[in-house]
Amino acid sequence: MSMQSHLAELEKKHKALEDEIVEALTHPASDDLQIAELKRRKLILKDEISRLRQMQSTTLH
């Protein structure tokens, strides 16, 4: 898998988690631990996306 397609896949997962978090927050009976776990997973994806973009920009220069 190319780095560009890997980045696109990670961004798609990041967006899906964002949508899931928004959905969970709109329900008053949502589980705070579940929301915290979703946010943690989203942050991990964000960090990975940032790391890959940084690697990509350093290899291009």
pLDDT of residue 61: 62
pLDDT-above-70 percentage for the chain: 98
pTM: 0.85
Give domain limits for the chain.
3-60
The string of DSSP codes covering the chain is --HHHHHHHHHHHHHHHHHHHHHHHHSTT--HHHHHHHHHHHHHHHHHHHHHHHHHHHHH-
pLDDT of residue 54: 94
Whole-number Å distance between alpha carbons of 35 and 7 = 24
pLDDT of residue 28: 84
pLDDT of residue 59: 79
